[in-house]
Amino acid sequence: MNAVTLMSLCDDTLLCNFPKCRSKLCGFAWVTACSHVFCDRHGSGEFSRSPVICPACSSALSGKLDIVRTELSPSDEYKAMVLAGLRPDIVLDISARALAFWSYQVNQERMYQEYSISRAEAQLKQMEKVLNQQNQCRKLELSAMRGEISSLKKVMEEYKRKYSEVSEKLMERNRQYQKLQGLYDSLRLRNMVVKRESQPQTLRPEFNTGTAPKVTTPPRSPQFLFTDGDSCFFSPMQPDGAKPFFQLNSPVKENVQPFLKKP
């Protein structure tokens, strides 16, 4: 046993070997022949039953000195009298057994800590593996989402282009519509004016007592028709298309003109 081991044995504090306790020992402790030690609370509870079984290794403790309740910090008087009168070889044998018990406890604690560390490392590796898998899945999802975003951007650009084309066509159609609307309005106004000018005057009957209504006809201007043969004179009161009352021959043409010039 080297100096480092002795220093570690002296510096370390024993822990309760009860699986659910693992607390530091102080005051009194229960020591078993199978090299296990327990705190006063769990030792008193476990070793008061029958048969007595070690909680750590399940060994039967039926001997009278298989279980000893010892004080961890004895007084100086106890230290002076406990080994007094014993031969040196017995004292050394007792000391060697006590050191072996302490060394066993330290090694068991070291093995337990190594086991805990290895289990924690295994759990850590498993968690890292799961984390890497989740990261790979997230990366794949992220790449898929980026591809979808890029495709949606392309679709949006295509829709924007189509929207601009449709907007330009709509503006062109609106301009054409405004132009046609202006032409339609001008033609409609012209047609209304022509109809108003070509519409005859309305007939207004005169209501007189005992007399028939009089129909007023618009005055007609005198019409003259001169042909190469005979000349015809139309009276202002003569309807259109009627035969003339007077038919003058061409030789009398010179005599007719002075007659028309008279008032």
Report the alpha-carbon distance of residue 162 to residue 184 in Å, rounded: 32
Q: Between residues 232 and 183, which one has the greater pLDDT?
A: 183
Whether the per-residue pLDDT at 9 is higher than 70: the answer is: no
pLDDT for the residue numbered 220? 47
CA 23 → CA 39, 40, 84, 102, 253, distances in Å?
8, 11, 33, 16, 158
Report the alpha-carbon distance of residue 72 to residue 27 in Å, rounded: 6
Q: Per-residue pLDDT averaged across 16-21, rounded? A: 90
pLDDT > 90: what percent of the chain? 50
**108, containing H or E segment:** helix 88-198
Report the alpha-carbon distance of residue 25 to residue 222 in Å, rounded: 150
Whether the per-residue pLDDT at 256 is higher than 80: the answer is: no
Q: Between residues 216 and 29, which one has the greater pLDDT?
A: 29
Whether the per-residue pLDDT at 37 is higher than 90: the answer is: yes
Q: For 86-133, write each residue's pLDDT tens digit.
A: 999 999 999 999 999 999 999 988 998 999 999 999 999 999 999 999
Fold of 13-73: Herpes Virus-1 (3.30.40)
CA atoms within 13 A on the CB side of 185: 6
Q: How far does Cα 208 stand from its chain's mean position?
A: 91
What is the chain's mean pLDDT, rounded? 79
Domain spans, the chain: 13-73
pLDDT for the residue numbered 248? 46
pTM (2 d.p.)? 0.48
Whether the per-residue pLDDT at 50 is higher than 90: the answer is: no
Report the alpha-carbon distance of residue 186 to residue 120 in Å, rounded: 95
Pairing of strands 223-226, 67-71: unpaired
**37, containing H or E segment:** strand 37-39
CA 160 → CA 31, 199, 242, distances in Å?
86, 57, 77
Whether the per-residue pLDDT at 146 is higher than 90: the answer is: yes
Report the alpha-carbon distance of residue 11 to residue 140 in Å, rounded: 54
